[in-house]
Chains A and B, each alone.
Chain A
C-alpha cells in the first residue's frame, strides 16, 4: 500500500479514503440527488462518495462551494485560491493545498508565489497584496482564529475593496470546512488525478 504524502506539492496526488465510499449502484435517491449524478455525469470521485454518507450536508455543500470559489465579481479567482491555500497550509491538508496551489498557478500564470509558500510556509515573503491576502487567510484559519483589525486594515491598505475582502473571508473560511473533511477522512498518496 502506498505511503501517505506528508510534504506540500503542487502536483495533485490521489486520495485514499479512510471511510469506505458508498457504491454508486447502492445509492439511495437522496444520495443520488446530492451527488448530482445524471446520465451525462456518471463519474463521481471517492471523496464525494464518502461524503454521500451524509447526503443532506453534501446536497447543500456542493453549490455553496462552487458559489464561493467561482461566482462572478469580487475577488479574482486566483486570489480566492490563495485564500484556500493559506487555510490548507495551516491545517496541513496536503491534498487541498495541492489542488488549490495548482489552480492558483494556472490562473495567475506564476509558480513563484506557491514555491515561496511551500518553502517557507506561513513566513513566506510575498508582495504587498499577496502577503495581505495570504496572511489574513492564515490567521483566520488558526484555532482559535487570530485574524485582527490590523490584518483587516492591511487588506484595505493593499487595495482590496469590501467585495474582495468578503470573498477572501468566504474562501479562507470555506477551507476551514474542506480541510477538516479531506485531511481527516483520507490520505494523499502518490499518483496524479482528482480525488
Chain B
C-alpha cells in the first residue's frame, strides 16, 4: 500500500505521520490509497483521449483557485509546471481566462467553472454545448470525471484539515 501520508489529499491537508489522527486515518488507509489511484486516473490517464495531461492539470489548478484551496492550488500549479509549462496550456488555469475566442477551450472552461461552482445549475443544454464545440462523447465524460474527482478531493482535503486542526 502507498504511504497514505504521501497522498495528495493528506499532504495538502497538512496532516503528517506524527498526527494524533494517524491511527484513525490508517483504518481508512485503503480509501486514501484508492483516492490517490483515482487522482492518477483523472489527472494522468494512460489514454488521455482529447484532454491532455497538461490541460487536466491546468483545469484542476483552476478549480482549486476557484475553491480558494491554496494548498491544492500550489500542488496543481507544480504538477502543471512538470507536465506542460507551455503558456498556451498554463493560461487555462487563470480563472479570468475565458478561452480567448477558441470554441473548444471556451466550452471546456465554461463547463468546468459551472460544474465546479454551481453544479445544480447544469442543464441538458450545457452538455449539448460541449458536443457542439466539438468534444466527443468520450471526452465529455472524461472532462466530467476530472471536474467531479477534483471536487471530491478539494472537499476531502478541507475536511481532513479541519479534523487535523481540531485534534491538535
Contacts and interface: CB of A to CB of B under 8 A. Distances in A.
Interface stretch (B90-98, B101-109, B158-166): B158-166
* From B30, B126, B159, residue with most partner A Cβ within 10 Å: B159
Contacts of A172: 155, 159
A contacts with B: majority SS: helix
B contacts with A: majority SS: helix
A50 B141 contact: yes
Nearest to A161: B24
B162 A57 contact: no
Contact of A143 (B117, B137, B156, B165): B117
Interface in B20-47: 21, 24-25, 27-28, 30-31, 34-35, 37-38, 41-42, 45-47
A115 to B, nearest CB: 21
Interface string B138-168: 1011101101110111111011101101110
A166 B28 contact: yes
B110 to A, nearest CB: 13
B116 interface: yes
Interface residues of A, number: 56
B67 interface: yes
Contacts, number: 159
B86 interface: no
B38 A18 contact: no
Contacts of A174: 152
* From A90, A91, A92, A176, residue with most partner B Cβ within 10 Å: A176
A91 B155 CA distance: 14
A185 B141 CA distance: 8
B83 interface: no
Contact of B162 (A149, A178, A187): A149
A132 to B, nearest CB: 13
B115 to A, nearest CB: 6
Contacts of A58: 145
What are the 5 tightest A-B residue pairs by CB atom distance, in nearest-first order? A169-B159, A92-B120, A173-B155, A177-B152, A180-B148
B152 A173 contact: yes
Interface in B112-130: 115-120, 122, 124, 126-128
A184 B122 contact: yes
Given A56-B45, A145-B155, A185-B127, A73 B27 contact: yes
